[in-house]
Amino acid sequence: QVLVRLLSSPIVVPSRIFLFQDGDDEKVKAVIDKFLDEYSIRYFRISDLHPPFERFLYLKHCLWNTFWKMSAHMFSVEKVASFVVLEDDLLPSKDFLEYFRRIEFLMEVDHTVLCASAWNDNGFLPFVQDEGKLLRGNHFMALGWLFHRALYRKVVRCASCWRAEETMENAPNQAWDNPIAAYLRMVMKKGETEMDEEEG
């Protein structure tokens, strides 16, 4: 359904869709193959991407590794400046690409912005007072988000952010994305200068 919705948009170029499969479920692959036969979508298995999987204490820690590998491929191999992540259970609205296009400049001028998200856990009609208002959150908003190369270089590619024994060993009940935001807040407190030194 995600691909159907994407491909129905007149501004979406199929060859710019990168589909990453995390796992080896053949039923999922069969669905993917139907789209690959008809459209020039780029397809990758996470397990085939470098570097190889590490062993994790808990299954959900693999989600960190998935995002790490996906980001590394998009920024280091495809050389994109930014990309939009859509999980397979999220249906994008018709204007979601325009939303991200307009908001990307914020990430270029303010590197404390980890991502631009189109998802709001409390975004149900009874709770929204101003549907046109842009809010800043203090946690990693997954499902559908725009991720920029600048933050990848400064934060996400840092190995210590992703090692289970350092960040999740004593916190098995944490959501997979909590340590990403926690690590970002910690690094941001050091200031932009120190972050640039770490990058070098």
Question: Mind listing the pLDDT tens digit for each residue in 64-92?
Answer: 778 878 888 999 899 999 999 988 888 88
Structural domains counted in the chain: 1
Domain containing residue 194: CATH number: 3.90.550.10
Asked, for residue 66, whether it belongs to a domain, the answer is: yes
Asked, for residue 85, whether it belongs to a domain, the answer is: yes
Residue 115 buriedness (CB in 10 A; 0-12 / 13-18 / 19+): buried
Least confident of 101-105, 110-114, 149-153, 171-175: 171-175
- For residue 43, the cross-strand partners are 19
Amino acid 53: pLDDT:
54
Asked, for residue 42, whether it belongs to a domain, the answer is: no
Asked, for residue 65, whether it belongs to a domain, the answer is: yes
C-alpha–C-alpha distance, residues 156 and 135, integer Å: 23
